[in-house]
Structure 1
Amino acid sequence: MPARMRRASVAAAEPGDTAPPPGRHHSARAWRRASELAVIVLATIALLGLLYWARALLLPLVAGLVFGMILGPISDRAQRIGISPVVTNLSLLLVLALAVSGAAVWFVPTISEWIADAPNIARTVREKVAVFERAASVFDEIAGLFQGSVTTPTVQIAPEQTAVVTSVFSAVTPAFAQFAVFLFTLVLFLTGRKSIKAKLVLAMPSRAARLTTLRVLSEIENELLGYFAVAATINAGVAIVTTLALFALGVPAAPVWGFLAFVLNFLPVVGPLILKVALLGMGVVAMPTLGAALLPALAYLAITTVESNLITPRVIGGRLTLEPLFLFVAICLFTWLWGPVGAFLATPLVIVAVTLQSYVLPSDAIDLPA
């Protein structure tokens, strides 16, 4: 054996120069992935904590930006036909203000009447459910025969109107402040929208990145406007049909319930479920019999079934596909973080996230085995 080969074999046999075993390499890779996952989890928890802690400020700011991205393309399209953006923005803000104030003026008196009539409503509910109380008392008496005693439960309903009114007034003051922040954010975004987009695009390092940024911003605005326009049209139809159906059934304040159907239908799955429960409770109070009490909720169930299974998939299904479970989790999450307004912002924010994901993390479609 040549001397060079002998030296190489001796050097390879030295214990200090042996390669690490394969298991140790895989273990280091696993620990590195676990540490990366831990950092992602901690960052997510910190982000959720920030969103919850700063909700009083972030909620109106995000709402103003979302509505600005919805209304912005309308200003662009009006400018193409010769209408000044200033006139369009002022008109849009005026329509929005009139809609909010009109809904408040129309809706608040009905709520005030319901609060003032709370004792009568509680008494009516107690009378309607008395049959169930009597049935429950029969079972209690039968159980008492075996236990040696008979107990009859009593139901006491003592509504505290003062506490309700106090809580309402305590919520009004911060609501006005948040609405002011929302309005200023919306106005400033609409007036400086083109300048903001230009600065974001020019901040990108390359021409390809600038074109991608411009394309992403335009697609987000178009998707939000398209979704909102189609959803508002469908919800208006649901509100009209619901109002007519409840009016035919003799439900009091049928237009108010139609308005609630319009608003709550912006919340997929959750909103219609809330209104069905509310209509069932209203039926127990307003209808003469328990059988008739089911009719308002059943009528609304039929309307939403047709809308969600026949109309919405045909109209909006081709424009945007959102995973129902993902959307439901987002609605629950933003409701917990930001309350009812967060629930309404959940779908637009999911649309923004899905659009960004399609550009930032593009993926080719892969046919998975069934």
Structure 2
Amino acid sequence: MDARDRPLPAPDDEAERRREARAEMARANPDVATICLVILTVLAVLAVLHAAADIVLPLLFAIVLNLLLGPPKRLLTNRLRLPPALAALVLIAGLFMLIAGVGTAISVPASQWLSRAPETLPKLQERLVVLSRPIGELRKALEQAQHLTEQPPPEGTQRVVVQSPPNVGGMGVSVLQGTRAALGQALTLGVVLFFLLVAGDTLLRRLVEILPGLADKKRVVGIAEEIEENISAYLLTITAMNLLVGIANGLQMWAQGMPDPLLWGTVAFLLNYIPILGPALGMMLFFLVALFATDGIWWALLPPFIYLLIHMAEGEAITPMLVAKRFTLNPVLLIVALFFWDWMWGVAGALLAVPLLAILKIVCDHVPALTPLGHLVGAPRGRGVNGS
């Protein structure tokens, strides 16, 4: 039977998990020293992850992409009888060609919008004149609050303002360094992903062989199989749904005569990988684009409103129905993880927040000592992984 056709856990199973979680908490009964040691260890690991982001992020993305490309790799090796190395090269080349094609398609309209920014901003400011009064009042209130919190300087002191000389080549150097770092990370990701696709099963087999007990061997195999099965199915489902969201938003922008509908459909597709924050940013962008392309502020509300309807249909109904059969995540912890990993690693961390939290829940569900944490990470039955 296909994994996506498996029934949801029965209420008795959920009650049994709660009893096991309470039993594990009662049996553990950690003292203060153990709790402090665990907290210090977690803080040390997080500090290392933050400092080593340049190497950790490509490794994590390679692991996630390995889970995504696992089913296509098995299709190429088992059905078409391709060697594992050739199948890995085909998948990686196809992935990078797809990314390069999408980037090339949207780079021209995106650069045009950036070049028109100086003339676009005054026009947007003119269209937003209706909101100028409340915005001015808000700014005045913030300035007054800032003056109240500032400490006045002592009498007789003079304030010295030091201006640094303009750095003519600073921007070019920054762009060059950023491009070199991005190429290095892309190379690291490609190499690690290739060896994971080719020899990842061998690495897992060697790890299982060195474990001492049969129960530990079964637990590691169960964790690996469930992570690969559920996370790969989740990523494929979310990618398909995001593609439909991008197509729908591109069509609605085209139907309303907005400029560059392909660009905004692609933006909606990419932003939908970031729960909650991504669609909110997308609605704001659609409003600004419509405000620039239409004659009135009320007509400019139509594209973001349709964007909201599309997102609600996808995020509140379709996606939870498809992914809730596999695992559910607590929406509160999901938004906390989203902000935390965004603070740690920026946009890349926000993209990895959901897979990392889902992997944490799967591991906790298989390790008896971590069962209470897994029960906390999980959401009530019927709630989707995206917190909808």
Q: TM-score, normalised by structure 1?
A: 0.78
Report the CA distance between 1:284 and its aligned residue: 2.3
- Equivalent residue for 1:262, pick from 256, 259, 269: 269
Contact 1:279 1:296 survives alignment (8 Å): yes
Instruction: Give the equivalent residue in structure 1 for 2:96.
Output: 97
| Structure 2 match to 1:11 | none
Q: Partners in 2 of 1:137 and 1:351 — Cα distance? A: 44
TM alignment of 1:166-315, pairs within 5 A: 168-315=175-322
Cα deviation for residue 234 of structure 1 reads: 1.1
Supply the distance in 1 between the matched residues of 2:310 and 2:70 (Cα, whole angstroms): 33
- Give, in angstroms, the shift of residue 131 of structure 1: 3.8
1:50, 1:37 → 2: CA distance? 20
User: Is the contact between residue 73 and residue 221 of structure 1 (CA under 8 Å) also seen in structure 2?
Assistant: no
Shift of 1:193: 1.2
Aligned length: 315
Percent identity between matched residues is: 26
Given residue 286 of structure 2, which amino acid in structure 1 is its aligned partner? L
Q: Per-residue displacement from partner, 1:132-184 (whole Å, max 9, x unpaired)? A: 446878999xxxxxxxxxxxxxxxxxxxxx99887655532211111111111
Equivalent-residue separation in structure 1 for 2:136 and 2:259 (angstroms): 33
- RMSD of the TM alignment (CA)? 2.7
Q: Are the counterparts in 1 of residues 65 and 193 from structure 2 also a CA contact under 8 Å? A: yes
Instruction: State whether residues 67 and 186 of structure 1, in contact with CA within 8 Å, keep that contact through their aligned partners in structure 2.
Output: yes
- TM-aligned CA deviation for residue 77 of structure 1: 3.9
Q: Would you say the 8 A contact 1:238–1:304 is kept in 2?
A: yes
Deviation at 1:124, TM superposition (A): 0.9
Spell out the pairing of 1:65-144 with structure 2 (5 A cutoff): 65-84=63-82, 85-133=84-132
Q: 1:82 to 1:136 in 2, by over 3 A?
A: closer
- Which amino acid in 1 is paired with 2:85? V
Larger Rg: 1
State how far apart, in whole Å, the 2-side matches of 1:263 and 1:137 are.
Answer: 34
Q: Is the 8 A contact 2:110 2:263 kept in 1?
A: no
Q: Which amino acid aligns with 1:324?
A: P
* Unpaired runs of at least 5, structure 1: 1-31, 141-161
Matches of 1:303 and 1:169, distance apart in 2: 39
Q: Contact 2:70–2:197 at 8 Å: present in 1 too?
A: yes
Asked if structure 1 preserves the Cα contact closer than 8 Å seen for 2:272 and 2:278, the reply is: yes
Post-superposition Cα deviations, 1:181-237, rounded to whole Å, max 9, x if no partner, equal: 111111121121121111111121122322221221111111111001111111111
Unpaired segments ≥5 residues, structure 2: 1-29, 140-168, 377-388
The question of whether the paired residues in 1 share the 8 Å contact of 2:250 and 2:261 is answered with yes
Q: Which amino acid aligns with 1:101?
A: A
Between the aligned partners of 1:136 and 1:67, the Cα distance in structure 2 is 44
| C-alpha separation in 1, matches of 2:215 and 2:45 | 30
Deviations 1:21-45 (A, max 9, x none): xxxxxxxxxxx72222222222222
Does residue 317 of the first structure (1) align with residue 315 of the second (2)? no
Whole-Å separation in 1 of the counterparts to 2:134 and 2:53? 47
Regions of 4+ moved over 4 Å: 134-140, 162-170, 362-366
- Superposed CA deviations along residues 223-260 of structure 1, whole A, max 9, x for unmatched, are 11100111111111111111111111111111111111
- Classify the secondary structure of the residue corresponding to 1:250: coil
Cα deviations by residue, 1:245-288 (Å, 9 ceiling, x for unpaired): 11111111111111111111122212111111221222222222
Tell me, yes or no, if the aligned pair for 1:224 and 1:351 is still in contact at 8 Å: yes
Identify if the C-alpha distance between structure 1 residues 124 and 221 changes in structure 2 by more than 3 Å, giving closer, same or farther: same
| Counterpart residue type for residue 44 of structure 2 | A
In structure 1, C-alpha distance between the alignment counterparts of 2:136 and 2:324, rounded to whole Å: 52
Preserved contact between residue 235 and residue 266 of structure 1 (Cα < 8 Å):
yes
Aligned residue in 2 for 1:347: 354
Scaled by the length of structure 2, what TM-score is found? Answer: 0.75
How far apart are 1:346 and its partner, in Å?
1.4
